[in-house]
Structures are given as structure tokens and as C-alpha cells.
Structure 1
Amino acid sequence: MSALFTSALAASAEAASGQHYPQGTLYVVATPIGNLADISLRALYVLGLVDAIACEDTRHTQALLRAYGIDKNAKQLIAVHQHNEAQAASTVIDHLRQGQRVAYVSDAGTPGISDPGARLVAALQHQQLRCIPLPGPSSVTTVLSAAGLVEDHPGGFVFSGFLPSKTGERDRAVVALAAETRAVVLLEAPHRIEALALALTSLGSRLVTVGRELTKQFEEIATMAASELPTWLAADANRLRGEFALVLHPMPPSTETTQDTRILKLLLAQLPLKTAVKLAADITGEPRNALYEEALTLKGAKEVGSEG
């Protein structure tokens, strides 16, 4: 038993035990994204109450439970991860049909957003079984809250998560992001952050807020032009460590009128003219003939400039 959270466990029982926790129910529990103290009192109580815990990584979850002083044996942990989520759902359903309470946790944050959990919940809905969410930490809302987005642009934000790992697919995804006028939240792993930063440089002066190691001891949050992101990473080797959440800020209103041209330029830099025009038409909805004429003009201006 951990002594650090003894008082928190007592407080969780006092605060949450009087509520109703129906049997035969899945409790989707958000867990900290880094700082153990970010666990909620209700989450602590439910994790101790349930008969079984479905989890992305049983070893990781067992260590988390022990840190809080919650005792569950190995038989009470059910592995439900990205590679077995659909199949493992039947095991969880069996537990629920027996009237047991089951919690589901991912390795960090709110399940079912970028982590496993969505297929499990969908399977329960199909069987008309109950699911109760326990809100809590999420890297998405955490980085948004520190991005300083001003409410002068309609539409809220878009969550894109991890972009494709292959260079060509990632570059095409960034071109699509260039057409998105709303804020966009991205996630990235340390071994791929340099490649993402390089791809985002094509967005030029559009602002990006980078959240690294959010809620942890060496947390770092910075806002800069997308073109400056590789330089910022290279300035300190430690910046390549840890998990990343990024916010691509909304498109400034003054640049929206030239957005079609911007997308066309990005595509022309990566693709043959006809392919670039076709994709630009698909993305923007603009007439292909007009885009083709503009592409010829842009190509001609580039060639003249390179000769000079």
C-alpha cells in the first residue's frame, strides 16, 4: 500500500461512496497524463470498487493502482488494447452480464479519444449494456487551455490526433490542415516529432502551440510560427523527449481569402501540376479550370524567379 495517497483514498470514500454505482456497468475512467495527483476522487473510489479493470496495459495499470494504494490481483485485470479490442470486448460483456462492475482505463488520459476504448464502448452499446464515463485528464483539453486561443474565429477546434507516419501521407495531411481555418489539435511521439515539425514548416507564419511532457516535472509549453518549430526543437536536445500535444492556431481572418492559392502552392511543391490541381479542386471546391490557370501562373513565376 502506498502511503502517499492514503488521505486521498479516505477522501474519495467520503466524497463519492454515497453515490449510486449500478452493477453490470462499464465505468470509463480518465487517468492522469503524467502527474499522479491529477486523479479524481471519484476515479479513485470507482477503481477500488469495481470487480475488474479492463486496461490498455495490465502492467502499467497495476503500477498505477499500487501508487494509489489500490489492491487488485492479476485475475482482476483484463487486457483490452489496440490489437485485441474487438475480441476482448466479449470478455468484458460476460463480466457485465454476470452483474459485475468493470472499469476501463487506457495508459493515460481519457479513453476512446486517441487511445483504445471506443470499440469496447460501441460493443456495449450494441448489446444495450450501460456505460458511465468518469471525466478527467486529457492532453487535448490540457494543451488547448494553455494555447491562448482568442474567440474571434468561429467553429471551435478540430482534433486530428496523430498524422500518418509515412512522409508522403503526412505531407498530404498537412496540406489538408492548411485548408482548415479552425484550430487543430495534433498528437505526436518523441521519435516522430522532428518529421512532423519539418512538415508543418510549409504552414509558414501560422502559429503553433507545442505542449511537451504536459503535467510532468519538465513540462514545456511554447507558441511560435510553424516555420520556427524545427529550430525550436533543435535548440535543446531535451525537447525531443516526452510526448507532444500541439495546437495549430486558427487561420488569421486576413489570410483566408488567399487560402486556395496557398493550398495550390503547397501541392505544387510536392506534386506534378495536374495532380496538384486535381487535389486542390477536391480540397477547396474551386473549379479545376481556374485552378489550372492559376497553377500555370504560379509555375511560371517560380521558374522566372529561379532564373534570376
Structure 2
Amino acid sequence: MTLQNQTQISGTLYVVATPIGNLGDITRRAVETLEKVDWVAAEDTRHSKPLLHSLGINQTLISLHEHNEQQRSEQLLEKLKNGEDGALISDAGTPLINDPGYFLVKLLRDEGIRVVPLPGPSAVIAALSAAGLPTDRFTYEGFLPARGNKRLLVLQGLATEVRTLVFYESPHRLIDCLESMLTAFGDEREIVVARELTKKFEQFVSGSLQEVRRYFTDHSDKVRGEFVLMLKGAPIKSSEDGEAALIEQDKMIKVMLKQSLPVKQISEIIAELTGEKKKPIYQRVLELKE
């Protein structure tokens, strides 16, 4: 605890990236920070304890996961207000990227508590860096819905996205996900699938959607581990394609209307995907609904 002029000084939360597979990827700064803080908030303490022990660190671990994040964040806020320093780690990679921590970091920043990022491993960035796809612009979509109809709806909404699309997927849903992508994007859209990044059996599989789906269908022994799916964006259309773009937009609207999505939500989704203003899209959704 640090005191200055008899006034308590708040501590700092360090957001620490940890290895996604290869322990050699831990940074020196991460190790030094994890050693010096008063406690470490971890997504799964059972997973993080062996990691810390392998680094020679004996640290107080506090669980922070999706089921207790709001309550635990309040507790950690009090610790930081009392001058303690803490670290936030996830099971692997950079915290908050498809992992818990958003509520905590937002709360601390709102309260004026210092939050310091320690950059390091990230499956998204690692996969993109070696995929051979355009990386000047990309969009990270995380995990797709587990249910097939919802997954297809999301993918159809991304069919005209020109940026490289990045997804996470689990082994038991990989084939179904690739099937949905074939339906939404067609057979020839280029895809790169990365599995087991930084680990012994790291692999990149690239080709058309049809080719990659066939590979994993024929090699079921490769459908294991953790997957990053990277899909090349749609071709950028010229102004002459404006009419065709409107036709595609109407198709997306009709698909969403069939799913009984609210008009407002549909207009917001289309506006986000196209960059167009919501008001005219809202009017078009109403027209098609009638």
C-alpha cells in the first residue's frame, strides 16, 4: 500500500497477455509484472496455477469468469482503491479478446483506476500474420452462433463485407461452420484455417471453401485443437454495381424478416454492414415487410 500526504493512492491493474501454446512466448515484462503484483485475476485458476508455477511464480489467484465478473469486479475495485496492484490474465492469449474482463476494465476506467496493457500473444494476430490474406483491414467476429440457422443468418449478413473476416471455432462445430460458409459465400471464396497455433502440431490449411471443407472432412484426425478461420473479403464493387448492391441488401433484409427480427434491429445491422444511414434503410425494411 502506497501513501502520500496521508491520502491513499489507488493501485494499478495490469492486463497481461499470456502464451497461447508455446510457453517461450511469455514476455520478460509479463513475468516481472506477475511476480510483483499483489494478486492475479484469472479466468480459470486451475488452468493458470500450473502456468505460473512453470514460470516460478507463487501468486495469489482470484477467479474472474463470465459467471462472476460483475460481483468480483466490485471486489477487485476495492482492492485497487486500497492501493493494491493486480494483474488480469485469461486462459491463453490477450485478455478481453473473446474472454472475460470487459466489465472490470470499464468499471476501473470509469472510477479513474489506472489500467496498463502488457501486449503479447494473440491468436487473431498470430494467425493473420502468417495467413497470406489482406491484413490492412480486417474484422474480428469471434465465435459464430452454435445453432445452424442463426449462424447462417450472421454469415449471410457478412457476405458483402470487403474486409478479411476472422472467426474462432471449436473442433466439434468446424465442419458445420464450413458448410454454413459455403452456403453464405459460395464454393470459391478463399479461406485459411489455422489450428494449434504455436504448438507442436501447428497447421495452416488454405484454399477455396470447398477445398478446405473437403480436407477436414477427409482428415477427421485434424479436426482437433483450437481453430482460427480467416476468410478473404468480398471483391470491392464499383459505383456501377450500386444497383446490384441494393438487390443484395434487399436479399439480406428479406432473410432477416423471415427470422422475425425487429425492423429496428435489421436496419441497424444493415447500416453497420454497408456504412449507409439508418433512416433510409429503416424505410426500406418497412417497405419489404409490407
TM, length-normalised to structure 1: 0.76
1:201 is aligned to: 182
2:67 is aligned to: 83
Residues 70 and 160 of structure 1: CA distance in aligned 2, closer, same or farther (over 3 Å): same
Superposed, which structure 2 residues align to 1:4-19 within 5 Å?
none
Residues 227 and 271 of structure 1: CA distance in aligned 2, closer, same or farther (over 3 Å): farther
1:24–1:98: 8 Å Cα contact kept in structure 2?
Answer: yes
| Paired amino acid for 1:159 | Y
Is structure 2 residue 145 aligned with structure 1 residue 164?
yes
Question: Which of these residues, 247, 267, 278, is aligned with residue 230 of structure 2?
Answer: 247
Superposed, which structure 2 residues align to 1:285-296 within 5 Å?
none
Question: Which of these residues, 4, 9, 12, is aligned with residue 25 of structure 1?
Answer: 12
3-state DSSP of counterpart to 1:178: coil
Q: Distance in 2 between matches of 1:244 and 1:119?
A: 26
Deviation at 1:166, TM superposition (A): 1.2
1:35 is aligned to: 22
Taking every aligned residue pair, what percent have the same amino acid on both sides?
A: 40
Superposed, which structure 2 residues align to 1:73-222 within 5 Å?
76-150=60-134, 156-202=137-183, 203-204=185-186, 205-222=188-205
Q: Distance in 2 between matches of 1:39 and 1:215?
A: 12
Q: Distance in 2 between matches of 1:137 and 1:217?
A: 16
| Paired amino acid for 1:27 | Y
3-state DSSP of counterpart to 1:61: helix
Is structure 2 residue 32 aligned with structure 1 residue 51?
no
Residues 263 and 165 of structure 1: CA distance in aligned 2, closer, same or farther (over 3 Å): farther
1:185–1:245: 8 Å Cα contact kept in structure 2?
Answer: yes
1:297 is aligned to: none
1:71 is aligned to: 58
Tell me the matched-pair count.
262
1:299 is aligned to: none
Residues 48 and 255 of structure 1: CA distance in aligned 2, closer, same or farther (over 3 Å): same
1:28–1:133: 8 Å Cα contact kept in structure 2?
Answer: yes
Moved >3 Å (runs of 4+): 253-268, 270-275, 278-289
Q: Distance in 2 between matches of 1:220 and 1:174?
A: 25
Deviation at 1:185, TM superposition (A): 0.8
3-state DSSP of counterpart to 1:143: helix
| Paired amino acid for 2:190 | L
- Higher-helix-fraction structure: 1
2:153–2:256: 8 Å Cα contact kept in structure 1?
Answer: no
Larger Rg: 1
Q: Deviations over 1:77-112 (max 9, x none)?
A: 111011111111012112212211100000011011
Residues 273 and 30 of structure 1: CA distance in aligned 2, closer, same or farther (over 3 Å): closer
| Paired amino acid for 1:183 | T
2:41–2:63: 8 Å Cα contact kept in structure 1?
Answer: yes
Q: Deviations over 1:36-60 (max 9, x none)?
A: 1110010011111111000000111
3-state DSSP of counterpart to 1:215: coil
Segments of 5+ residues of structure 2 without an aligned counterpart are 1-8
Superposed, which structure 2 residues align to 1:232-271 within 5 Å?
232-253=215-236, 257=241, 258=244
3-state DSSP of counterpart to 1:241: coil
2:206–2:212: 8 Å Cα contact kept in structure 1?
Answer: no
1:230 is aligned to: 213
Q: Distance in 1 between matches of 2:226 and 2:76?
A: 30
Residues 192 and 122 of structure 1: CA distance in aligned 2, closer, same or farther (over 3 Å): same
| Paired amino acid for 1:71 | N
1:61 is aligned to: 48
2:4 is aligned to: none
Segments of 5+ residues of structure 1 without an aligned counterpart are 1-21, 293-308
